[in-house]
Amino acid sequence: MDDIMIVMKFGGTSVANFEAITRTIFIVGSKLDQKPVVVVSALSKITDLLYKIADSAASQDLAQTTELLGQLRERHVNLVKELLEQSPMIMEQALARVNEICNDLDKLAYAICAVGELSDRNKAILISNGELLSSTIICFTMNAKGIKTGFVDARRMMVTNDSYLKGEPIVDEIAARVPGIISEAYEGMNAVITQGFIASNMAGEQTVLGRGGSDYSASLIGMAIDAERIEIWTDVDGVRTADPRKVKNTKYLEKISFEEAAEMAHFGAKVLHPLTIEPAVKKNIPLYVLNSMNPSGKGTAILRNELIEDGVKSVSFKENIKVINIFSMKMINTSGFLRRVFEIFSENKVSVDLISTSEANISVTVDAGEKIDRLVEELSEFCDVIVDDDKAQVSVIGKNIVRLNGMLKKTFMPLKRCNVYMISQGASFVNISFVVDREELTEVVQDLHDHLFDNPEELETY
Ligand code: ADP
Ligand code: ASP
Ligand code: MG
């Protein structure tokens, strides 16, 4: 596919309202010569609202379900009226389509409410509506503004396994479908728009990629069309040394490596979905994180490892994790013990983050949201298990930091007063992670960030 060159993904805040969508369309309009494939999320907070609707319907709260469905429809209908005020004919068409989507959603929500039961399959259908609505509205508005835009239903090309709420992409199938569908949609057009997050399985049933999955959609599409670049447009000036919502005085990073970005995202930096990097790496496609509220900014380039300098880049964190401590005297001299333990994690689909072992103990961290009751029960059949709740995980990330002289001292020096429960130094040379009490997190990350980024020159490679 020679002529399609870039993927531009706009997150919830970049399509939140009239002003944001107007800015976003202006940004897309300035890049039509690069043939953009635009990928959009739901309007900001709409996916949360859809989850609430799902819960409320499943618990058969009819009054609340009706109230929430009303809010959802009203927000989208008002937006259409604002955006398309100057184009009454297009406004009519857009309103008809938005109401059609909302009517289908109402029907589904009331059906769930009637039976009081919500399958993952129906939940996926329900929560997909945010992206369908936003992409529909933006597509009509782009056309009204003179940007001829083709609409692609992502469910035709993004194929996942049968895990309805956290579909795993079937990459070969996506790579086979996307180019044809996109180039067909591009015929006679200046741009193409599609949805992030939503997909379908091989049987054509709806699935989603999991929360924050639109970034992942964008990079899968970028991989499939061999895009020249993948742009992730959000509400911050690129990737920073820590989450600016939590940490003061964070610094902007001009460029980082694929590996650093993947580790940052995996270890908690919400700026990118953790799996976004993987498809881009496959085809060596640079990713850019850009601010739709400040489009002239340079943003952060995420590039191949060789183009990036060594050094500390970020402090990432997960605010709420559990530590599962597994004790067994049998671990000593018993081959196969670790295998048995991790088989149980795998059978229960609990994903493990950090691991540390001693002679008769294994400690692992898992996200607080993981369901671990059955896992703990099964482990308890042959080991003692203690679960520590209310912990947080902090990771210092940067290319080759594990080889920097004084790095461990510099990481742990600011933590004088707090307990450190687990320490794990990544085998990749890119990260050092540790666990602290949740209530200490804010202070720990601020102190650590100040300490690492105020005197970076003290570190030397050995
Ligand atoms: P979108 O809706 O565009 O996908 P997200 O809210 O998912 O946006 O991601 C952007 C947010 O990520 C920022 O507002 C910021 O608070 C957060 N964030 C976390 N870690 C970082 C980091 N290291 N650099 C920049 N932003 C970060
Ligand atoms: N709208 C989805 C969510 O809020 C996907 C995304 O925004 O990336 O999780
Ligand atoms: Mg996001």
Residue of 126, 104, 132 lying closest to 58 (CA atoms): 126
The number of the ligand 1 atom at minimal distance from the alpha carbon of 269 is 20
Band (337; pLDDT cuts 50, 70, 90):
confident
* Cα(72)–Cα(214) distance, integer angstroms: 20
User: Closest by alpha carbon to 37, among 208, 210, 230?
Assistant: 230
| Confidence band for 462, pLDDT divided at 50, 70 and 90 | very low
Around ion ligand 3, residues with a beta carbon closer than 5 Å are 11, 212
Q: Where are the domains of the chain?
A: 6-235, 313-461
Q: Is residue 274 within 6 Å of ligand 2 at its C-beta?
A: no
What average pLDDT does the chain have?
94
Whether the domain at 6-235 and the domain at 313-461 fall into the same CATH topology: no
Looking at the DSSP assignment, which residues form a beta bridge with residue 327?
361, 384
pLDDT in tens, 348-405: 999 999 998 887 889 999 999 999 999 999 999 999 999 999 999 999 999 999 888 7
**pTM of full prediction above 0.85:** yes
User: According to the model, what pLDDT value does residue 413 have?
Assistant: 86
Work out whether the CA dihedral 236, 353, 259, 34 comes out positive or negative.
negative
Q: What is the 8-class DSSP label of residue 16?
A: S
Ligand 1 neighbours, Cβ below 6 Å, are: 11-14, 41, 212, 234-236, 239-240, 242-245, 269-271, 314
DSSP 315-371: EEEEEEEEEEEEE-GGGTT-TTHHHHHHHHHHHTTPPP--EEEETTEEEEEEETTS-
pLDDT at 229: 97
Residue range 6-235, CATH number: 3.40.1160.10
CATH architecture of 313-461: 2-Layer Sandwich (3.30)
d(CA 303, CA 314): 16
Q: Are 240 and 297 in contact (CB under 8 A)?
A: no
In the predicted model, is pLDDT for residue 458 greater than 60?
no
Written as six digits, the tokens of 325 are: 């401590």
3-state secondary structure of 314: strand
Number of other residues whose CB lies within 10 A of the CB of residue 118: 18
CA of 235 to the centre of ligand 3 (A): 10
Q: Please state, in angstroms and rounded to a whole number, the distance separating the CA atoms of residues 108 and 197.
A: 20
* Total length of the chain: 462
Q: How far is the CA of 242 from the centre of ligand 1 (A)?
A: 10
Mutate to test the pocket of ligand 2, among 214, 216, 221, 272 (most ligand atoms within 8 A of CB): 214
